[in-house]
A and B are shown apart, each in its own frame.
Chain A
């Protein structure tokens, strides 16, 4: 995998106003991410994981310092430019899935593509491909309320991946899932990372997630406490058959134990 820096963070500070004063969530973070990384921001609640993820995703702006994502300085982007950056190049996976309840699975996955200019045929192909990646092609016409939590998160992954983004940001993607489903979605993401070269950055404090990460960045009180490369992280699965639930193929917990 070629070494190409897609995120460059220098002396990042983020402050939030609280009452009459401010709360400093990030204190001089300096980090960079290469293309194709499967990295995680780990740390306890309030350590600044989500704040950092939001700034990388241009959902929030830094108070000081520089954040360059895919060659663009986040602080200098207009609303339209940051929306375009998110729409074309960044996929988001949320803890609570954030699927649109009135839409079918297909519609949810298609949504980011509807904001882009493209033909209906190309959209359909991309959506079905994304649903195949996560093994939910047969549930394309189901609604989120008809799916399990694991399936909802897989739809969320498909929605994030359908536009073939360079970067996927996942905020506690396994927090609402049981162990089996957590492993299943992580294996899926790992496979997509390996096959498509998509960079994944997680914000998590879930041990199960950490087992899959190639790089762990520990945050404490808004500072980088450790930045560790992992050589033998758990691998992703093979593409599941369409509509096939992942649980039957899942390995036991011991299979995910770090050597």
Chain B
């Protein structure tokens, strides 16, 4: 307590120098919390959206299916087992049949994935009800990114060519009945959604599917001939992207933190240089060298308390505002191919704030301790005379 009390008095006595250092440190702290919150918010939002729109409570995959290898689709299909059919009928899973196809919009040729999904499914947020339209022969649903890329509007016809189960090419015209808006590029870019029964009929894969999407509350059960992939596995790549983004953002706030820590280090070196007589006085009054070192370490580390105080004054309202209003993302963000909402809403968890506080306090304590160690080599008599050793 004595060290802290003395440290705070000394820091307040140092005036502007203390507040400038604490100010930079507080910015580093706020930026650290903001970046972490932003990435955590993005992660949370993207995971929720992906589960809502694409993966539900997990997916059962055909053993040959590889989502990163379109050629695996040729073999990755199998008839639904009676158990799977039962679950489908109960609305607990949604079968999806995927095959490669080529579209010819305006005379261009575009490779895409043809996805068959039951029009009446309720598990995913995809507006598949429109696929039940009987006014057109083959209704098709696409996302806004796909619509923009192919310049398609609802009601437009699109020529598709695909190969059936025997490898025979066939072609039909489909009609775009709706364009959905989702933050998930993997269900939008290069994808076209058709009624499952149509795709099964077009490919000659009656009653077959490539994967089965489960309801979010369905506990994983073994399904013969299918491999269950949980959401963590399905979101693994996205999680890795977030982690790499976090590492990248650490460079930004790490630089600011480093500037503040350098200022504290310099202040400490200067303090020990200028306050030798004071150090000698402490020793003469009965402080041990260890106590004096602790005093100077606490004094340096106390910058972080001032920084937290400053950060709470301007940072709390700012972070709260950002957390409630979010940050609008530009249209170009869609082109990144990553799941990004129109607005990113930072999410601040107690653990993350505690982590940031700990990083700031510990790092200031370390940079304060390093120069303070020199006090151990000071002789009290020399210190009292203000001599440099």
Contacts and interface: CB of A to CB of B under 8 A. Distances in A.
Interface of A: 54, 57, 59-60, 79-80, 83-84, 86-88, 92, 94, 96, 98, 100-103, 107, 111-112, 114-115, 159
B281 A60 contact: no
Contact of B288 (A79, A101, A103): A79
B39 to A, nearest CB: 42
B277 A96 contact: yes
Contacts of B6: 100, 103
A86 B379 contact: no
B5 to A, nearest CB: 8
B362 interface: no
Contacts of A87: 285-287
B381 A94 contact: no
Interface in B271-319: 277-278, 280-281, 283-289, 291
Question: For chain B, what secondary structure do more than half of its interface residues adopt (helix, strand, loop), or is it mixed?
Answer: helix
A86 B286 contact: yes
A52 B44 CA distance: 72
A231 B72 CA distance: 113
Contact of A86 (B9, B277, B285, B384): B285
Contacts of B380: 54, 59-60
B115 to A, nearest CB: 72
B2 A115 contact: yes
Contacts of B384: 59, 94, 98
A84 B286 contact: yes
A111 B282 CA distance: 9
B278 to A, nearest CB: 7
Interface string B248-278: 0000000000000000000000000000011
Question: For A54, A57, A98, which residue has the most chain B Cβ atoms within 10 angstroms?
Answer: A98
B286 A112 contact: yes
A60 B2 CA distance: 26
Contacts of B281: 94, 98, 100
Given A59-B384, A60-B381, A115 B278 contact: no
A102 B286 contact: no
A83 B381 contact: no
Contacts of A98: 277-278, 280-281, 284, 384
B12 interface: yes
Contact of A59 (B9, B12, B278, B283): B283
B278 A88 contact: no
Given A54-B381, A59-B381, A60-B379, A80 B10 contact: no
Nearest to A171: B384
B285 A92 contact: yes
Question: For A57, A59, A96, A107, which residue has the most chain B Cβ atoms within 10 angstroms?
Answer: A59
Question: For A59, A83, A94, A115, which residue has the most chain B Cβ atoms within 10 angstroms?
Answer: A83
Contact of A102 (B9, B277, B280): B9
Given A60-B379, A60-B381, A102 B10 contact: yes
Contacts of B13: 101-102
A115 to B, nearest CB: 5
A115 B286 contact: yes
Question: For B6, B284, B384, which residue has the most chain A Cβ atoms within 10 angstroms?
Answer: B284
A159 B282 CA distance: 12
Interface in B339-377: none
Question: For B12, B13, B285, B289, which residue has the most chain A Cβ atoms within 10 angstroms?
Answer: B285
Interface string B1-27: 010001001101100000000000000
Nearest to A116: B286
Contacts of A79: 288-289
| List of 10 A-B pairs having minimum Cβ-Cβ separation, nearest first | A87-B286, A102-B13, A98-B281, A83-B288, A59-B380, A102-B9, A92-B284, A86-B286, A54-B381, A60-B381
